[in-house]
Each structure stands twice: as C-alpha cells, then as structure tokens.
Structure 1
Amino acid sequence: MTDPSPGPDPSGPGVRTEGVLARLGRTMALRARWVFSVWLIALVALGALAPSVFSSLAGAGWQANGSESVAVRELAQAHFGGASSAAVQLVVHSDTAVVTDPAVQDVLTRATAVFAADPRFGQVVAPQPGATISADGHTGILMAGATGTTDDMVKAVDDVKDRLTALSGNGIDVYPTGASALWSDFNAANHDAMITAELFSWPVTLAIMVVAFGSLVAAGLPLLLTLAGLVASAGGLVLLNTVTPISVWAMNFAMMFALALGIDYALFLVARFRDALSRSGDREQAVAETMDTAGKAVVLSGLTVLVSLSAVLLVPAPAVRTMAVGIMLAVAFVLLATLTLLPAALGRLGEKVNAGSLPHARRQVHRSPRFASWGRLLHAHPWPFALGALGVLVALTVPVFGLKVAMPSIQVVPADSAVRQGYDLVQAGFGQGAPGQLQIIAPATQADAVAAAARAVPGIAMVGPAQAAQDGSGLVLLSAVPNVDPSAPAMGGILDQLRADLPTDALVGGAPAENLDLQSALNTYLPIVVTVILVLGFLLLLVALQAPLIALLGTLVSLLSTGAAFGVAKLVFQDGHGSGLLGFTPQGFLDGWGPVFFFAMIFAIAMDYTVFLLSTAKEHYERTGDPEVAGVDGLAHSGRVILAAAAVMVAVFFSFALADPLPPKEMGVILGVAVLLDAGLVRLILLPVLLRLTGHAAWWSPPWLRRVLPTIRFSHT
C-alpha cells in the first residue's frame, strides 16, 4: 500500500529560492521611505474625501431590481406627480385643534412652502377629508411627491426634516414619515451607533493587543495599519459613489470589518516577524521569511473574504450589493497595506518592534508551550473533545430550523424619532394598515374592475378613488389600505392574493410590497449565494493546501459555527431571550437581509481562522512529513494568534450590540457569537482533532491533482 504522505520538502534546505511574497517583503523593507511616501500621498488624497463619506453615500437602495413594486414606484413618479412610495407624508396633529383650524392651516401652508422650495419634491397635496384627515379631524397628512430617486429623497428628507419639525409648537405636532423619512431617521441613528461602537472598541482592542503582544509598539502597529486602510477605503467609497450610488451602510460594515480583519492580518505577520527576527537577527531576512510564510496565509485569507462577499453581488438589491462592495474595498485596502506598508514598517523598526515590552513579553516565544500542551492533549484524547464541541455546535444550530426572516419594521428606529411618532399617529387616526398603503397602477379602462377586485380581497380595509394620470398616459393610480400592520406576517398573503385577483394589466406596489419583493429575492438567492461561497471557499483551500480532504473538512466545519450563530440569533432576536439585557423589543423575526449577508461575513471570518491554522500546520508537515508534529506545532504556533485575533473581533463586534438601532445590534451579536464559537470550538478544538483523526490522509493529494494545481508551499528555507 502506498504511503499517502508526500513527506518533507524534497528540495532540501537551501535549495528553494525565495517566492514572490518573500521578494515583495524584502523590497518593501529596503525601500521603506518610498513606501511611506506613496502611502502618505494616497492617504492625504483619499483622507481629504473621507470626512464626507457618511453625507455623500446613498441612504436607500432597499429594493429588488426588476420587481413589480419597483415598476409601480417608477410609474407613479413619472405619471402621478411623484405620488410613489418614496413620497413624504407629513403628519400634522393636535389634541386640541382640528385640521381646518387657522393655526393648523398656517402650519400646513408653511410646510408646503418648505417642500415647494426644493425641486426634489413634486406635487404637494393638502390633507383631504375622508382620505388623509382622520375621522376625529385632529390628524392630517400632507403628501409631498418625489421627483428624484429613492436615494435623492432620503437626502432631501435629511435636508428639510429639521425645518419641518421646527414648525411644531402651540399644541401642534409635525412629523415627517413614510419610507424616505424612515431611512433618513434610521441612517442617522445607525451612524451615531456605529461611531459610538467604534469609539468603545478601539481602546478595548488596544488593551487586548498589548496583552497579546506584550509590547506597545507591536500592539500599535495593527491599529495604525487598520486606520490607514479605513481612511483609504472611506475616500475610495466617496470616489466610487460618483460613479454609482453606494449605500451608507457600506461604510458602516467596512469600518467594522476593516478593523477586525486588519488586526487579524497584522497580528499574524507581526508575531511571525518577531519570531523570525529572534532567530536570524537580520530584519530584511525576517521580513522576507514572514511574507513567505504568514504572508501567504494572509493573501489566501483576504482572497477568501473577497470571494465570499463577491457572491453577495448576485442579489439584485442595490443596498445589499453595495454593502458587499464597501467591505470588499476596505478589505482590499487593508490587504494592500498589510502586504506593503506593514513589511516596510517592520523592516524599518527591526528590534524596536519590541519597544515598550511588558515583563511577560520578554519570556514569550512564538511557539506557545501552553498551546503545544493543548495540542498534545487533543492528540491523545480526540474523541471526547470532538464529540463535546460537535454536541454544543449542533445543539445551537437546531433552532435555525425555526428561524423566520422579514424586512425591518418601524421598530428599527428609536421610539422618540420623528418618523416613529408620525407612524404611530397615522395608525391611531387611520387604522393599523394606513402607514403601509399598497399602490395599484392600471389602465384607466380597467379602473372600476380593479377597484372592485381589490375591495373583494380579504385583508383590504379600504380602496381609495382612482386618480387619473396627469400626462394623459391612460393610467390610473389607486391606493389599497390593508387592515394589518405593514410588517405583520399576514401582509405577504394579502399582497399575493391581491396580485392574483387583479386583472393582468394591473401592477401592485407601495412600500410594503417593495419590502416583500425584496424579501422574496433574498430568499431566492440565499441558496445560490451559499452554494457559490462554499464551492469557491473549497477551491481556494484546495489550491492553497494541495489536499482535497482537509480542504473539504475545513470548508464544512465553517458551516457549524455559521449555523450555531444563526441558531443563537433565532433565540435572541426572534424569541426574545436576553432582549431585556440587550435593550430591545423583539420583532419576532430576523431582519431579512441577515441570512445572505451575515452568512458571507461569518464564513469569511471562519475561513480566516481556518487559513491561519491549516497553513501553519501545513508548513510543519512540509518540513517533517509527520501529521502529529503538524497538528501539535500548527496549534502551538498559531493558537495564541487565533485566540488574540478572536478576542479582538469579539470585542469589536459585541461593541455594536450596545447600539440602540436593532440592525447593528443584530450584526454585533451574530458576528460576535460566530467568532466566539468558531475560534473556541472549531479552530482550537474540532479542526485540530480532525487533523489527528485523518493523519497523513489529511494532506494527501492524488498525483494528477498535484500536476494540475500550482505549487504553493508554506515552509521557508
């Protein structure tokens, strides 16, 4: 029987020439001044744009391109004075006065002037009796049409909402509401939450880094590197936004991901550099060795992240796509800085990288005795640890099968926000479904038939009179008010029934329909995105490790931490366990974009740790041909870095759990739990145990595959 082990490197010590990354690292170290100069120029140029990133980026984009609801919105804006789902509803309410009173009419007149002065608003329609004036007369809705895109309208509300709410007084309250106002208020709350979380996470991160590295200089390098990547990506997003609208959420996610991954990459390289420098004493040689070993792992990790997020681009939703683009741009800049700026800094610093060392750092070696002991324990007793870790992960994954998803409800904005108060007044004055009116556009010749069919649909409380198009296009617009809250589960059934019962030429849209159409697109594309990510992740691991079995196992175990994280998300955000501690009211579902987007992010992070562990194990297997040495020394040389990187990521992600808006809270908890489970149970227990159980077979590759794949080695001689 043939031994499946390829054995140690047959070329022998001293024969192998330096690889591309080793030469790159050496060049960066020798040309440090040039590297610093180029980065300084780039950061000054892009940094000048960075402060405007939140005000420049798009505020909407939550739609399914090509859907029926988007077609309705575009028709409404083109033919009905902008009376689309992007129109602004200005709610004017008084407990003491009615809408017809002079004081209320004066407020409405001044509000109309505010809208008329801005060309982004179309036709302004005063409150109408029997339609937009409540039965008790105390609440009226002034409608301001939309002439721009949804992004334009969110920015328009940003610009005018303070002037509109300033009209409140003397017992009269004024609140802008509607989809555009909702995204305006939410984006503002989300921005504040992100900034607060970042300010909290930076000092915590620095403290973890100091403990991990034991040196102030070594701990500061990853933060400076990440800051450079963040500034560059912020400026890059502003530039990209001039070409195509980029969601403001792109920067929110980019900030978080760049901080977490940038520190991960720098941790891996700096730790390896300190080890190489302690052995050779030659700073350029140490940089070359670092890039030839850890540098390959960083490149592979970065490619895995980019590939995972690129799969999200398949989803036909501008906001989702541009969030992925934002993270990809930030990762690209962080990766570029890791491969150029960091080697230059390390080459220039040399032994000074250990400056400001704490007492324990002077005794610290790259090969951790504690993780070596842990590796030997796993090697000696694999099954109890494997079954224990697997049992926990499976138990946490089981709740996923009861997970419900839907687009965010009004609860994503703070209770004291203007849009939330306006929303509540509309429901109180006009019924539960009034804030989420459905819009029907049909040929004028079918107006009566459409109205009759809509009234007959269960769940439709009222159908308004047909409004003829202003441009003679022969179309009519009708509004259908459901009898349930726009985010209620029954809303989907009402929309489906309405579309099924109306004449074929009638189209149904409106804000609730846009949310439901987007949710449908997300559900449709989820299995496609998951499949693409898994296949591409496996192929990348296969190319890097040259071993199909461990590439397959490394990919599959990443699903365990992903499933467990979504299981916890179901328990927390759907069922409400721990909601009091986290300070939120559960919606009864997870926000609809979560499964697609978070799966890509969690899988990318999980593969990040997989690469760090397996590339180190592969390096030792190439040197010795001994799977036990590979497993134990792989853990001994990477365990501390994985633990420190995970601690940083958990601190960063959990800081977002402190946010008031629900989506950042979901993001923080889900990603934080995913990292905690992945690093603690998968990378430091389950994957090393799998290496132990598979032995030589883990690293075996058939001869024909080795001939097809490019030669990639992680050992440096």
Structure 2
Amino acid sequence: MTTTPSTTATTADARGPQGPTKPPKPPGRLGRLGVGATTHLRLVLVLWLAVVAGLGAFAPQVTSALAGAGWQASGSQSVTVRELAREHFGGNASSALQVVVASDKPVSDAAAQKVIGKATALLEGDPRVSQVVPPQPGATISRDGKTAVLLAGAAADTNDMVRAADDLKKPLADLSGHGIQVTATGSSVMWSDFNTANHDSMMKSEMVSWPVTMAILVLAFGSLVAAGLPLLLTIAGLAASAGALVLLDHLTPTSIWAMNFAMMFALALGIDYALFLVVRFRAALARHGAPVRAVAETMDTAGKAVALSGLTVLVSLSAVMLVPAPAFRSMALGIMLAVVFVLAATLTLLPAVLGRLGARVNAASLPFARATATGEGPSPRFTAWGERLWRHPVRHGLPALLVLVALAAPVLGLRTAMPSITVVPPHDSSRVGYETVQKAFGDGAPGTLQIVTPSGVAARAEQVLKADKAIAGVLPGQRAQDGSALTLFQAVPAVDPSDPSLARTVDTLRHDLPDGALVGGAAVENLDLQSTLDAKTPLVMGVVLALGFLLLLIALQAPLVALIGTVTNLLATAAAFGAARLVFQDGHGAGLLGFTPQGFLDGWAPVFFFAMIFAIAMDYTVFLLSTAKEHYERTGSPRTAAVAALGHSGRVVFAAAAVMVAVFFTFALSGPLPPKEMGIVLGVAVLLDAALVRLVLLPVLLRLTGRAAWHTPAWLRRVLPRIHFSHD
C-alpha cells in the first residue's frame, strides 16, 4: 500500500521538538480569519451572542408570522382573475372562504337557519372578510335542500386569507351538532390545513432526528466534546435564520415552508461543515501540537473547501429564484439565509472555539474510540479502500455505474402534477367540506371556474361556456359592484379538479372565449403554476449545472475534474428522481410507507429538489475533490491524490451522509405525502451520492483519467483566479 506524503509528514511532526521541523507557512486569508477569531474569542462570542439573541428574539413568531400561501404563477391569467374578483366583485375570488352547512333536514329548517346566522356573524366579525353572501337557491343550495354554502369574500391578500382560515375554521366547526355539520373549505382553508399538517409532521421528524444525529456524531468523532460542536453550530444558525425569516417577512411575504427547509438545511450543512473542519483540526493539532497553528492550517485547507461549498449551495439555490412563484422564491431565500448564517458561524465561531479548546476537543472520548478521538492521520480503512479502487477501478466502478443508470432510467417516464385534495389529512376541515360539496353539487363543484370578461362580450362568453360539453353548469353572470364594465361567470366543470382533462377544458375555453376574457379559479391557479414549473424547470436545471461546473472549475483549476464532478452529480440526481418515480408514481413500497400513490410526483418537486440535491451533492464533491487537489498540489501524483482524498475525507463524507440520510428518512415517516416525498427523494439522493458516487465512482474516474483530470490549459490558467488547497 502506498504511503502518502501527508502520512509521512504526520509521523515526522508527531516526534515533537526533537524531530526535524520546518517553519510554518504564513496563513492565507481564511487562515488569518481563523487565527483572528481564536485570539479574539471573547469578541467573537459577544458578537454571536448578540446576533443569536437579537434575531432569536423573533424566532418564536416564525410559525405565526410567515405566510401560508404563495403557490401561484405570478402574472398568470388565473392570478389576474383572482385579483379582479377580489377588487370588483365583493371579494368573490378563489381565496374566499366557503362555509358548508350540511343538515339531516332541509337547511330552511329553523335549527339550520340559526346555525347559518351564527356562522354569518362569525365571518362578518373578521375584518379580512369583505361581505358574506348567503346561500342562494339553484346556486349554493343543493337540489335536495340539505346542503348550503356561505361565501365569505376575500378582503385581504391570499396570505392573510390563509391566516383568516387558521383563525375561523375551528370556531365554525364548533357550531356543528344536532345533525348539522359546519365545515370551512376552499383554497385558503386547504392551504391552512396543508401547511399545518406538514409543519407539525416536520417538527415531529426534527425531534426524532436530533437524538439519531447525536448518536451518529458520537460514533463518528469518538468524543462527546467534538460531537457537540456541530450541534452548537447548527443551533446558532437555526436561531439566527429563524429570526431573520420573520424580519424578511416584513419586506416580502415568506412561506412557512421556508422555515421548514431552512431548519433542515441548517442541520444538515452545519453538521457537514463542522465535521470537515473538526476532523482537519484534530489531525493538524496531532501533527503540530499548537492550537493556533492547527486553526490556521484548518482554515486554509478545509475552511477554503467549506467556503467554496457554501458558495456552491447558494448559487444552486439562487437558480430557483427564476421561477415566478412567491412560495418558491421565499423557500429558496429562506434556505439561503440559513446557509449564510451556518457558513458564517463555521468560519468564525467554530475556529474560535476550536482554538480555545485545543487538545480538549478530544475530551470525553469513548472507550471503544480512543484511536478515533486522537484525530491522527488518515483513516486506515478508507485509505485501504482507496488503494483497492486504484488497483481495480473497473471491478468496482462498473457495478456502481450500472446501479445508478438502472435507477436513473425510470426518470424518463416521470409525470408531475399539482397535488390533489388527498394530500390533506382526511378529517381536516377543507377535505371534509370538499367531499361534502362534491357529494351535494357534483364532482366538479369544488373546482368551479371563474371567468372575468368585458361586459360588452358577456353574452358571447356565456354562449361559449354553455356550449362546452366539459362544463356541467354555468351560473348567471355577475356585474361588477363598483360599476366597472366587467362581468364574472362561474362555471362548474364536469370532472374533479384534479382530473387531467380539466387542463384541456381550460385550454379550450381560453381559445374559444372572446378576446379579453380571462379564465381562473383555484383549480386553474394550480394548472397555471404547473405550466410555469414545466416551462422553467429546464432553465433552472441548466443554470444550476452551468454555475456548478463554473464554480468547480474555479475551485479546482482543471476543466476535466470539474466536468467529472458535475456529471456525477447529475447522475446521482437522476437516480434519485428515478427512485422517486418508482415509489410515488408507480406505488412500489406505498403500503410500507403508509400512503396512497397519486400516479405522479408533485409538480413542485423536480425544480426545487433538483436544486437541493445538486447543492448537497456539490457539498460532498467539493470536500472530496478539494482534498484530492491538495494532495496533488503537494505531490504531483494522481494516485496519491485519489487515495488520500478517500483516506482524509472518506470518513467525513460517510459520517455526514449518515447524518443527512437519518434526518431525511425521518421525514419519510411523517403522515402527509409531501414530507414523505421530500424525505425519500433527498434521503435516497444522499445515500446514492455518498455510497456509489463519492466513495466509488468519483475515485474510479480519477484513476481512469489520471493526470489529465488535473491538467489546466495555459490560457485558462491565465484567466482563472489562483486558488490553492495545499498548506505546505
């Protein structure tokens, strides 16, 4: 087995003052930052306490302050219709609240009328409700007379209407009794139920993941003190980012999902970054014995890789901002805020604490892990694995490649659509009301279309609507209340709102209706968002791939190795989506995971998960390839670079991946479908990326490409900024 120069250096430095030493290399920029943080520990602690306390004071407001809606294609016809309906038609928009009163007796009965009166009073007492339209025979009273719908117009934007649903759905439900059932439903109530169910399940998953994470960290570090540092870093990042999201919401409506994803990324990346730095610090400390020098070396090597990794994550997520949907943009922005705080803590707070701890970082070592806790040298097991891959690249690389290609193949048949009402728990208000309306008024009633047309062509528009066989019924046109020359029609489709044929109906109406007529409604808003996602997904993916390659090129200074890193990331991502199709579209394992497959993957998943998976994959790529680059700069040997990359970074990648997989798979145990999708897709992606790509395929490709992987053309060398990872 080849002995790397770094191993030899470790042995020599470990001899202490009697052995030969060479003067330390002056620290670079990040090294000076780390040394400055160490020598000014008190200042660093005070500043971080101020940040965490100042922003953390807003953190408790995060679940109530953040927005609940924003799942829309800004600028689309459906959003325009919603705003016109809210402004000119008494709030009769898709965001209005619908209160369903179902009785054993006709709703004209005195008991039912009393309940309807109480519900009306409750709605009229909320300033976010513009006007309450009582049940109308032939329109909002069923044919059997036992079901009636109250319409509470929207006097506020979609986010405030979701908050209104949060506040009103329980008091309305409390009016039920004596054979009368009262349920709030509609788009705003659905988003209220959806957000509550998903937030609750994600919080439960977070609580489960913390002890699992701590156990994995203790096993990885072999020391309770060292294992606690990543959690310290994560808590600081979480508190700061939660408070920052509340402040951000005052500038622009921010989705509650931004907090959920930010928490997950802060935990995952905080642990990743801390693992990489702590492992490197312990190795440097074992060689030099001087904590400050160890911090300088750690920051100039691992710290540089962490900074580049964080930048790559931010760039990947920024591509999601190209999607013109408020929920997507705020979620991406929320994760980016969390990454910024975690990255800042990693590059300032962590080195300051490490420099002060010194050898005490190995305190409270576990009996079975004394050798691990010393942090001396590369991992023998991963070094041996690197040697085996170097000797037999095809034997190990080909099976890994075949598995990834086999899993990626199903992605060609992946279908996407916006989630149906079934993603809401069965007993939640919006779903109960939805099913009640459907039973009383017909399959398409919960997805009533809204058509706003100039009054001059209203008669022609009504003829088109009544002539369309896909429309089950058309309500009389409603003139604008403020005198505007606009007319609103409500058309009930013949099919369920989640039926694929509804998209064809909407396209037909938009083609056949007179000029100036606009088609909207809650179901159409979903369709327009899906169309926007379908159009923007290739652009987002292309931008992520291009920027990822560019950043790897700048970091590694070699086109071929940057291309290898980008392509292997894409392969791991495709394999994860192929697995997602098998599980969520085809239903394999649905019984085990406890869900009913919809026959498609939720429409928001490809664009958002692609950016997230690619960001995580680039995280590991930068860690592994920066270590390989460091040893190649030091020795000029492709073999030493490939083997040492695994020897020094393999354990970090393995441990970090284990933490991420454990965190993500806990979400697969959640009740609602969206967290399951998130947990399975991200968990499988990390598992495949770490086990087959970073620890097998990437080292094999470094073996097969040899020196060519690290070659930099002269013209490119003149263009790129000079970045070195070697500290010697």
- Separation in 2, partners of 1:145, 1:13: 77
Partner of 2:275: 267
Contact 1:656–1:668 (8 Å) recurs in 2:
yes
Partner of 2:3: none
Task: Provide the secondary structure at the position in 2 that maps to 1:143.
Answer: strand
Task: Provide the secondary structure at the position in 2 that maps to 1:122.
Answer: strand
Contact 1:454–1:501 (8 Å) recurs in 2:
no
- Separation in 1, partners of 2:156, 2:379: 60
Alignment partner of 2:102 out of 93, 97, 116: 93
* CA shift for structure 1 position 14: 5.4
Partner of 1:5: none
- Given the alignment of the two structures, is residue 380 of structure 1 paired with residue 388 of structure 2, yes or no? no
* Matching residue's letter, 2:717: R
Contact 1:272–1:366 (8 Å) recurs in 2:
no
Alignment partner of 1:553 out of 546, 561, 564: 564
Matches within 5 A, 1:477-496: 477-496=488-507
- Separation in 1, partners of 2:450, 2:88: 13
Contact 1:217–1:356 (8 Å) recurs in 2:
yes
* Matching residue's letter, 1:239: L
Q: Structure 1: which 5+ residue stretches go unaligned?
A: 1-11
Partner of 2:630: 619
Alignment partner of 1:30 out of 34, 39, 43: 39
* CA shift for structure 1 position 707: 1.4
Partner of 1:211: 219
- Separation in 2, partners of 1:702, 1:17: 29
* CA shift for structure 1 position 17: 3.3
Task: Provide the secondary structure at the position in 2 that maps to 1:340.
Answer: helix
Partner of 1:9: none
1:182-234 CA-partner distances (Å, limit 9, x unpaired):
01111111111111000000000000000000000100110111011000000
Contact 1:271–1:366 (8 Å) recurs in 2:
no
Contact 1:438–1:509 (8 Å) recurs in 2:
yes
Alignment partner of 1:608 out of 619, 635, 644: 619
Q: Cα RMSD over matched residues?
A: 1.1
Alignment partner of 2:338 out of 330, 333, 340: 330
Partner of 1:79: 88
- Separation in 1, partners of 2:425, 2:621: 39
- Separation in 1, partners of 2:644, 2:583: 38
- Given the alignment of the two structures, is residue 239 of structure 1 paired with residue 250 of structure 2, yes or no? no
1:243-268 CA-partner distances (Å, limit 9, x unpaired):
11111110010011110011000000
Partner of 1:579: 590
* CA shift for structure 1 position 16: 5.2
* Matching residue's letter, 1:161: K
Task: Provide the secondary structure at the position in 1 that maps to 2:468.
Answer: coil
Superposition TM-score, scaled by structure 2 size: 0.96
* Matching residue's letter, 2:569: S
Partner of 1:339: 347
Contact 1:574–1:589 (8 Å) recurs in 2:
yes
* CA shift for structure 1 position 179: 0.4
- Given the alignment of the two structures, is residue 520 of structure 1 paired with residue 536 of structure 2, yes or no? no
* Matching residue's letter, 1:395: A
Partner of 1:595: 606
Partner of 2:7: none
- Separation in 1, partners of 2:106, 2:582: 46
Partner of 1:703: 714
Matches within 5 A, 1:214-225: 214-225=222-233
Partner of 1:6: none
Partner of 2:201: 193
- Separation in 2, partners of 1:130, 1:14: 91
* CA shift for structure 1 position 445: 2.2
Partner of 1:258: 266
- Separation in 2, partners of 1:390, 1:256: 29
Task: Provide the secondary structure at the position in 2 that maps to 1:207.
Answer: helix
Task: Provide the secondary structure at the position in 1 that maps to 2:137.
Answer: coil
Partner of 1:630: 641
* Matching residue's letter, 1:71: T
1:145-173 CA-partner distances (Å, limit 9, x unpaired):
00111001001111111111111111111
Task: Provide the secondary structure at the position in 1 that maps to 2:58.
Answer: helix
Task: Provide the secondary structure at the position in 2 that maps to 1:441.
Answer: strand
Partner of 2:475: 464
- Separation in 2, partners of 1:160, 1:487: 26
Alignment partner of 2:446 out of 435, 439, 446: 435
Partner of 2:174: 166
Contact 1:181–1:419 (8 Å) recurs in 2:
yes
* CA shift for structure 1 position 361: 2.7
Q: Structure 2: which 5+ residue stretches go unaligned?
A: 1-20
Task: Provide the secondary structure at the position in 1 that maps to 2:251.
Answer: coil
Matches within 5 A, 1:648-667: 648-667=659-678
- Given the alignment of the two structures, is residue 475 of structure 1 paired with residue 483 of structure 2, yes or no? no
1:60-95 CA-partner distances (Å, limit 9, x unpaired):
00111110011100100010000000001101112x
- Separation in 1, partners of 2:468, 2:312: 49
Alignment partner of 1:63 out of 72, 76, 81: 72
* CA shift for structure 1 position 458: 3.3
Partner of 2:18: none
- Given the alignment of the two structures, is residue 296 of structure 1 paired with residue 304 of structure 2, yes or no? yes
- Separation in 2, partners of 1:353, 1:428: 65
* Matching residue's letter, 2:166: D
Partner of 1:182: 190
Partner of 1:315: 323
1:372-405 CA-partner distances (Å, limit 9, x unpaired):
1111111111112221111111111111111111
* CA shift for structure 1 position 412: 1.2
* CA shift for structure 1 position 488: 1.1
Partner of 1:49: 58
* CA shift for structure 1 position 15: 8.6
- Separation in 1, partners of 2:431, 2:670: 18
- Separation in 1, partners of 2:702, 2:314: 27
* Matching residue's letter, 1:580: G
Task: Provide the secondary structure at the position in 1 that maps to 2:368.
Answer: helix
* Matching residue's letter, 1:669: I
- Separation in 1, partners of 2:662, 2:505: 43
Task: Using the TM superposition, name which of 122-131 and 70-79 deviates more.
Answer: 122-131
Task: Provide the secondary structure at the position in 2 that maps to 1:439.
Answer: strand
Identity of aligned residues (%): 67
Partner of 1:569: 580
* CA shift for structure 1 position 498: 1.1
Contact 1:458–1:494 (8 Å) recurs in 2:
no
- Separation in 2, partners of 1:619, 1:447: 72
Partner of 1:150: 158
Matches within 5 A, 1:658-697: 658-697=669-708
Task: Provide the secondary structure at the position in 2 that maps to 1:300.
Answer: helix
